[in-house]
């Protein structure tokens, strides 16, 4: 096991400490608003709940990454379909990567489209849980597609890598744009 030193340890937890401070600051201000008898509506409670859960996830990120780091690399590579050697870049490689990214954007679109209905049918707490779970699923799918992207296209030159990245961004943003137009 390699020693990290003081700076390595601090940098690993710096984001978590900053987000924890932001979380405490947010909650202190929310309690101050509540004590001043400021009327917060259901949407405000939903936003506060969502921000608290997401910041809590960032605070717990070092713990999560510790447990994810214990996963066997061969099993993870097999699950993601990462080739150990040089793989030729074919249409199916592009299709696999772009379809994973499109699936992530599609789930995000479903989240955007259904959120208002869920909020109207339930309360802010259930809607907040729905929002966090769906958002984490979207992030997870997008990250898995990007891992596959980086692994596959790491051996290309920077121009080809950039073209593929711009194509992926355009597809993702166009799907999210369609969802935003459906909602409005």
Phi and psi based region of residue 72 (left: phi greater than 0; alpha: psi -120 to 50; beta: remaining) = beta
pLDDT of residue 3: 58
pLDDT of residue 97: 77
pLDDT of residue 85: 61
pLDDT of residue 122: 92
- Helix ranges (DSSP H) in 60-90: 61-68, 73-80
For the chain of 184 residues, list the mean pLDDT of each consecutive stretch of 10.
62 81 88 79 86 86 80 74 68 79 84 89 92 88 80 74 79 76 72
pLDDT of residue 86: 64
Structure-token match 């990214």, residue found = 101
pLDDT of residue 1: 45
Torsion of CA 125, 130, 132, 136, to 10 degrees: 170
Give the pLDDT confidence of 26-36 residue by residue, as tens digits.
Answer: 889 888 887 88
């Amino acid at each position: 096991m390699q020693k990290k030193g003081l700076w390595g340890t601090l940098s690993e937890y710096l984001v978590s400490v900053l987000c924890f401070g932001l979380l405490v600051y947010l909650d202190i201000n929310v309690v101050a608003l509540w004590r001043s008898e400021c009327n917060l509506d259901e949407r405000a409670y939903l936003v506060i709940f969502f921000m608290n859960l997401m910041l809590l996830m960032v605070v717990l990120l070092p713990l999560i990454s510790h447990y994810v780091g214990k996963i066997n690399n061969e099993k993870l590579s097999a699950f993601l379909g990462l080739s150990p050697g040089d793989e030729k870049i074919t249409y199916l490689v592009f299709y696999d990567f772009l379809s994973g990214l499109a699936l992530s954007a599609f789930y995000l679109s479903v989240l955007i489209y259904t959120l208002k209905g869920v909020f109207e049918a339930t309360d802010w707490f259930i809607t907040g849980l729905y929002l966090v779970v769906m958002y984490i699923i979207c992030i997870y799918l997008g990250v898995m597609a990007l891992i596959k992207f980086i692994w596959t296209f790491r051996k290309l030159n920077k121009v080809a890598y950039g073209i593929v990245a711009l194509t992926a961004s355009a597809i993702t943003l166009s799907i999210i744009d369609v969802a935003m137009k459906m909602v409005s």
